[in-house]
Chains A and B, each alone.
Chain A
């Protein structure tokens, strides 16, 4: 197996994970990664570092007074020559500005939360891909996997039969994990040899989950809710196959 492979340089690898290479080169690297375990691991590790940097670097928020001063500046800054406004116009303008500010701050907050959660999900999914990680329960049998969580999780869930799963979809094992500090069940599936991580958390009392982006760094993130659970699946498999799995899991939760 030890063929003389020209490994990727750090610069190339780094530009690759940033999606900055021309399409043809990007493809050539995908092919190299498929055959080179060393570089595949390096790419994985580089993605993890990138996600962690994004979180660690988003760190300094303006104190409230600063925020107030800067936003006030934005809608008060005189422009060019002095102008005389009617009171009414100023009032409308400041009302609009206040609403815009409120909306954008809510938006920023949600975006920020969404991004951290999406990053966390992706990190955990990537961690399961590394060959060193073995799930705590290795079983394809739902009757082994489900009871294992009893007493480990403050909630329970149903798993579909192996036959009820979409074609070429297998349960590989499970793990206990945490999302935003809340316990979660992590189910590991494969669909056509693509690894899938499915996170189950309590819908209420669990982490509040804003709408997640549907893709991140080339991975698809799909989520669904049932009466009590929130189900989030992460994978690089094609989105419709991922949907089919999520739908099966949702169906399994409703009492038949």
Chain B
């Protein structure tokens, strides 16, 4: 189960009634500015990631908008010494999961998390480990599009957003070992998808 709502239901910190509303407003205003300062530089990244999840502009915008809204409301539960990027990407993902296309996506059962269902016991090089030509951006983009969404999601967080495995585990709500195997599997799948291009271009 995803705990998106739990995150937002954290009680807003009690600020004491003696100082009254003036202080409350000051605190809110400065927290709000803090939030803006943290969130603004991530806007492009969040949008890019939202688009990869939703696959269209209108929905990507809605997702980011809702993410900002939720994140700002829950900002009191965010601890300054934790990773803001991981935190807000997690909200983005949970927002996506409760959206219409997110619900549709989650109906597809993804099998990889069973250790013996697949050849996770691989040892050593496979034919796909050969050097592949990566100068064809279009081919790589097509390959990325063909990846199974759970694999692509983990890989993009790792390679594009440069999020550490530990934080990816929190964002996706999966164990860190699963993060590692999803990323590895995503890369093997990309290699397989890029193989035919090698033949065509030569």
The reply to whether the CB of B69 lies closer than 8 angstroms to some CB of chain A is: yes
Q: Is the interface of A mostly helix, strand, loop or mixed?
A: helix
Contact of B68 among A13, A70, A107 (CB under 8 A): A70
Given A7-B123, A46-B187, A53-B155, A132:B131 Cβ within 8 A: yes
Q: Mark B165-202, 1 if CB is under 8 A from A, else 0.
A: 10000000000000011011001101100000000000
Given A49-B132, A49-B187, A83-B25, A62:B44 Cβ within 8 A: yes
B90 → chain A closest CB, angstroms: 18
CA distance A210 to B93 in the complex (A): 33
Contacts of B41 in A (CB 8 A): 104, 107-108
**A-facing residues in B101-151 (Cβ within 8 Å):** 120, 122-126, 129-132, 134, 137, 140-141, 144
Which one of B2-10, B45-53, B79-87 is at the interface?
Answer: B45-53
B191 → chain A closest CB, angstroms: 7
CA distance A151 to B183 in the complex (A): 46
- The winner among B47, B122, B134, B188 for most chain A CB atoms within 10 A is B134
CA distance A18 to B48 in the complex (A): 21
Residues of B within 8 A of A (CB): 12, 25, 28-29, 31-33, 35-37, 39-41, 43-44, 47-48, 51-52, 57, 60-61, 64-65, 68-69, 72-73, 120, 122-126, 129-132, 134, 137, 140-141, 144, 155-156, 158-160, 162, 164-165, 180-181, 183-184, 187-188, 190-191
Residues of A within 8 A of B (CB): 6-11, 13-15, 18, 20, 38-39, 41-42, 44-46, 48-63, 66-67, 69-71, 73-75, 77, 79-80, 83, 93, 96-97, 100-101, 104, 107-108, 112, 123, 130, 132
- Since A10-B188, A57-B144, A80-B12 are in contact, a sample of 10 more A-B pairs with Cβ atoms closer than 8 Å, ordered by chain A residue number, is A11-B184, A48-B131, A53-B159, A56-B140, A61-B47, A62-B43, A73-B69, A100-B37, A104-B40, A132-B131
